[in-house]
Amino acid sequence: MMVAESLASNNKVLKIRNLSTHYFSRRGVLKAVDRVSMDLRKQEFIGIVGESGCGKSTLAFSIMRLIQPPGKIVEGEILFNGKDLLKLKDEEMRRVRGKEIGMVFQDPMTSLDPLEKIGDQIVETIQMHEDVDKKEALEKAMKLLESVGLPGDRVNYYPHQLSGGQRQRVMIALAIALNPTLLIADEPTTALDVIVQEKIMEILEKMKREGRSIILITHDFSLAAEKSDRILIMYAGWIVEMGDSMKLVAEPLHPYTKGLIESVPDIWLARKIKTMPGFPPDLINPPPGCKFHPRCPKAKEICKREEPPLIEVNGRLVKCWLYE
C-alpha cells in the first residue's frame, strides 16, 4: 500500500512495477531481478548502486528489452512515457531503442563495431530512426561528437584509432544521437581512469541539464552520491533502499547501505575502512527470509524466516524488518 502511494506522482518518465527477470540454467532458476519497482521523474538523475552480480545490468537490459536466452522477463510492467514496453511489438520496441531510450555500455573497447568508421556508425543509427540523407546525418554526427568533446573530424576514424575515453564519448554521442528522453549508462566509467571518468560524468550532467532523465549504474557509491538526485541500492536482485542521495548518505537506513558507505575510502577523515564481511549470496539458492541476513550485523529471528516488506521511512523506502 505504502509503496504504491509513495510512488504515485506525476511527471514520471519511467515507472517499473514488480519486474522480475530470471536466468534459466541447468542448476536452477537465477532470480537476477526480483520483483523490482521503481520510478524516474523527468530530468532526474538516479544512481543504481550495488555489488557485482546484484542484477544492475540485468535491470538495465530488461528496460531495453535486450534480455537474451537463457534470460527472460517473467513478470511486471515497464511503463515508459505511459506505454508498457513489455507489451510492445518487436518492431515498436526497436523504434523505442535509440530513439527514446539511449544506452551507454560498460566497456567502450568492445562496444563499437571495429570494421566501421565512427561516422558511419552514427549515421546508420540516425538513419534507422529519421528520414535524413547521408550528408545531413554526417553533419549531425560531427556536431554530436563536438557536443561530447571530440573534434568533428573523428567521424573518419575507426574505433581502434581512439582511446578508451574517446570511445566512451563516441558511445555517448551514439546514445544521444536521437535525443532520447532517457539515458541509461551502465558503469560507463569503470574501464576508464579517474580524470576521464570526471569528463564523462560532466557530459552526463550536461545531458540532464538539457532535460533528459539519467540512470547511472555503478558500484561506486561515492560517485553515485555525488552525481545523482536519488540513489537506489540493489542487493541480490532486490531494491533494498531508495531515496534522496543527500539523506541516504547522511542517514543510511538499511544495514547493507551502511556497510557500503563504511567501505568507501575517505581520504579526508582518514577513517578506517570497514569492509563488509561475507559475499553476496548464490542467487539460485538464496538464503530464506531476507537475502541479506547472513551478512547482517542486526539480523533478528524474523529476518531468517520471512521476506521483509518495503517500508516508507521519512520519505524513503527501505526493505528491512528493523523498521517494521
Would you tell me which residues interact with ligand ATP (CB under 6 A)?
23, 25, 30, 32, 50, 52-58, 70-71, 219, 283
Sole window of 9-17, 57-65, 142-150, 269-277 interacting with Mg ion (rule: CB under 5 A): 57-65
Q: Which of 16, 19, 53, 57 binds Mg ion (CB under 5 A)?
A: 57
- To the nearest 10°, the Cα dihedral for 164, 191, 33, 301? -170
Q: Kindly tell me which of 154 and 219 has the beta carbon lying closer to ligand ATP.
A: 219
Q: Kindly tell me which of 141 and 283 has the beta carbon lying closer to ligand ATP.
A: 283
Q: Kindly tell me which of 158 and 323 has the beta carbon lying closer to another protein.
A: 158
Q: Kindly tell me which of 54 and 145 has the beta carbon lying closer to ligand ATP.
A: 54
Sole window of 2-10, 36-44, 122-130, 276-284 interacting with another protein (rule: CB under 8 A): 122-130
Q: Kindly tell me which of 99 and 291 has the beta carbon lying closer to another protein.
A: 99
Residue type, 173: A
Q: Kindly tell me which of 23 and 238 has the beta carbon lying closer to ligand ATP.
A: 23
For the chain, strand residue ranges (E) read 12-25, 28-41, 45-49, 71-80, 83-84, 101-104, 182-186, 213-218, 230-235, 238-244, 310-313, 316-319
Contact 85, 63 (CB under 8 A): yes
Q: x/- site string to another protein, residues 209 to 248, per CB under 8 A?
A: ----------------------------------------
CA 188 to chain centre: 10
Alpha-carbon distance of 252 to 300, in angstroms, equals 19
Rounded to the nearest 5 degrees, what angle is found at the Cα of 139, between the Cα atoms of 143 and 111? 65
- Strands laid side by side in the 45-49 sheet: 101-104, 182-186, 213-218, 45-49, 230-235, 238-244, 316-319, 310-313
Alpha-carbon distance of 9 to 32, in angstroms, equals 28
As given in the structure block, the three cell numbers for residue 319 are 526493505
Name the minimum Å distance from CB 57 to Mg ion.
3
Q: x/- site string to another protein, residues 159 to 198, per CB under 8 A?
A: -xx---------x--xx-x---------------------
107 interacts with, out of another protein, Mg ion, ligand ATP, none, CB within 5 to 8 A per kind: another protein
Q: x/- site string to another protein, residues 70 to 109, per CB under 8 A?
A: ------------------------xxxxxx--xx-x-x--
Dihedrals phi, psi of 110, to nearest 5 degrees: -115, 5
DSSP tag of 118: H
32 interacts with, out of another protein, Mg ion, ligand ATP, none, CB within 5 to 8 A per kind: ligand ATP
Count of Cβ atoms closer than 10 Å to residue 315 Cβ = 9
Dihedrals phi, psi of 312, to nearest 5 degrees: -90, 125
| 113 forms part of the interface with another protein (CB under 8 A) | yes
Binders of Mg ion among 189-248, rule CB under 5 A?
none
64 interacts with, out of Mg ion, another protein, ligand ATP, none, CB within 5 to 8 A per kind: another protein
Contact 145, 170 (CB under 8 A): yes
Alpha-carbon distance of 281 to 161, in angstroms, equals 41
Residues that bind another protein (CB under 8 A): 64, 66, 94-99, 102-103, 105, 107, 110-116, 124-125, 128-129, 158, 160-161, 171, 174-175, 177
Residues that bind Mg ion (CB under 5 A): 57
